[in-house]
C-alpha cells in the first residue's frame, strides 16, 4: 500500500492536471530498482508509473533531478521516454509520477530501431562536456562540472571521485589504485576527439525495454559526454542484440576500433559498481587497468 501522504499528493497533482477530482482506484506493485518502491497507479483517466522512497534517510536520490534528466532526453527524439507528470522531494511525500508505458513484443527490427534511437539522441550536443547540474548514478552522486575536453571531464568528474570513494572504503588494493591513477594519465591518448553527446549515462539492459510505442529507456544519469560511454555500457552487462549496433552505425558511425576501446569506457561504471556492490567488479576493473603499470 502507498503511504497516505503519497497517495494524497498523487491525487492532488492529477486532479489539478485534469481540472477535476481524480481518485486512485487501484495500485499494483511492479518491478523497480533497489532504491525506490515502484507501482502502477490506476485511475479513471488512465494508468501511471509511480516511484516513491519508503525510507527517506537511506538515499540522497532526488526525484526532481531524475525528472530533469527524463525531460532532457525527451528533447532528443530518440528513445521513447516516459513523460514526467509530477516530481516531489518533500519529506512527507517524496515521489516521481510518470506516464505508464505498456511493454510490447520484441519484433525483428526492435534492436535495429533501438540503435537508431540512441544515435539520434547522441547527435544532441553542446559546447562543453558536462551538464548544468549534478545528478546521480544509482545512489551515488555524479558531478557534471563542465570541461572543454573529454579527457579532463572523464578523469576529474568520473574516475577520480569514484576512485577516492573506493579508496576511502578500502575497496581496492594499493596496486589497483596505482594502476587506475596511471590509466588516468593516458586517457587523452585513448579516446578519439568528438563533440559532446547527450548520454543516457546508465544504459544497461535493466534500464531499457520495448514499449508498445517503441524502444524506451528510463532511470537516466544524463550528461554530455563521449558517446562511446553509452555504447560500452550496453556491452558491460549484456542484453543488447547485434542489430542494435548495426542500427546505430547506420545513423551515426563510430570511430574505428571502438570495440577495442570499450574497456576504457567501462572503467567508470565498474568503479561505480565497486563502490555500490564490491565483489567481482574489482576483478573486472583490474583486468582493464592492469596494463597501466
In a shared domain, residues 29 and 51: yes
Report if residue 17 sits inside a domain. Answer: yes
The pLDDT of residue 3 is 86
Half-sphere exposure of 218 (CA within 13 A, CB side): 21
In a shared domain, residues 74 and 155: no
> What pTM was estimated for this model as a whole?
0.95
The enclosing domain of 120 has a CATH number of: 3.90.1200.10
In a shared domain, residues 167 and 239: yes
Number of domains in the chain: 2
The pLDDT of residue 59 is 62
In a shared domain, residues 127 and 153: yes
Report if residue 179 sits inside a domain. Answer: yes
pLDDT tens digits, 88-103: 998 878 899 999 999 9
Instruction: Decide which of 99, 121, 153 is a domain's last residue.
Output: 99
Report if residue 25 sits inside a domain. Answer: yes
Q: Which residues are catalytic?
A: 202
Percentage of residues of the chain with pLDDT beyond 70: 96
- Give the residue among 213, 193, 203 at the shortest CA–CA distance from 237: 203
Contact of 200 with 90, CB cutoff 8 Å: no
> In this structure, what C-alpha cell is assigned to residue 16?
489539478
Instruction: Decide which of 99, 128, 152 is a domain's last residue.
Output: 99
In a shared domain, residues 74 and 187: no
Report if residue 105 sits inside a domain. Answer: no
Sheet of 26-29: strand order equals: 26-29, 37-43, 46-52, 93-99, 84-90
* Residue 70 to residue 168: CA distance in whole angstroms: 32
Exposed, middle or buried: residue 226 (CB in 10 Å: 0-12, 13-18, 19+)? buried
Sign of the C-alpha dihedral computed for residues 290, 143, 227 and 81 taken in this order: positive
Instruction: Decide which of 99, 130, 156 is a domain's last residue.
Output: 99
Range of the domain at 229: 110-289
DSSP sequence for 68-116: HHHHHHHTTSSSB-PPEEEEEEETTEEEEEEEPPPB----TTHHHHHHH
The enclosing domain of 45 has a CATH number of: 3.30.200.20
pLDDT tens digits, 166-200: 999 999 999 999 999 999 999 999 999 999 999 99
Task: State CA 229 to chain mean position distance.
Answer: 11
Amino acid at each position: 500500500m502507498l503511504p497516505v501522504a503519497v497517495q494524497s499528493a498523487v491525487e492532488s497533482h492529477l486532479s489539478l492536471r485534469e481540472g477535476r477530482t481524480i481518485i486512485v482506484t487501484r495500485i499494483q506493485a511492479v518491478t523497480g530498482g533497489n532504491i525506490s518502491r515502484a507501482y502502477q497507479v490506476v485511475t479513471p483517466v488512465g494508468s501511471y508509473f509511480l516511484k516513491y522512497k519508503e525510507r527517506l534517510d537511506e538515499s540522497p536520490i532526488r526525484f526532481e533531478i531524475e525528472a530533469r534528466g527524463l525531460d532532457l532526453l525527451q528533447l532528443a527524439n530518440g528513445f521513447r521516454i516516459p513523460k514526467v507528470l509530477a516530481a516531489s522531494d518533500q519529506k512527507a511525500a517524496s515521489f516521481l509520477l510518470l506516464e505508464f508505458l505498456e511493454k510490447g513484443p520484441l519484433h525483428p527490427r526492435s534492436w535495429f530501431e533501438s540503435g537508431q534511437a540512441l544515435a539520434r539522441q547522441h547527435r544532441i550536443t553542446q559546447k562543453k562536456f558536462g551538464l548544468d547540474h549534478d545528478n546521480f548514478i544509482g545512489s551515488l552522486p555524479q558531478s557534471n562540472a563542465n570541461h572543454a575536453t573529454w579527457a579532463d571531464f572523464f578523469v576529474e568528474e568520473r574516475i577520480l571521485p569514484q576512485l577516492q570513494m573506493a579508496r576511502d572504503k578500502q575497496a581496492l588494493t594499493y596496486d589497483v589504485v596505482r594502476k587506475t591513477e596511471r590509466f588516468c594519465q593516458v586517457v587523452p591518448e585513448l579516446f578519439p576527439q568528438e563533440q559532446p553527446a547527450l548520454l543516457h549515462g546508465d544504459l544497461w539492459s535493466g534500464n531499457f525495454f520495448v514499449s508498445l510505442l517503441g524502444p524506451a529507456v528510463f532511470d537516466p544519469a544524463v550528461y554530455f559526454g563521449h558517446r562511446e560511454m553509452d555504447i560500452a555500457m550496453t556491452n558491460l552487462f549484456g542484453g543488447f542484440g547485434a542489430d542494435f549496433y548495426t542500427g546505430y552505425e547506420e545513423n551515426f558511425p563510430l570511430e574505428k576500433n571502438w570495440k577495442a576501446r570499450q574497456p576504457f569506457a567501462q572503467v567508470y561504471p565498474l568503479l561505480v559498481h565497486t563502490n555500490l556492490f564490491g565483489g567481482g567488479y574489482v576483478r573486472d576493473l583490474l583486468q582493464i587497468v592492469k596494463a597501466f603499470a
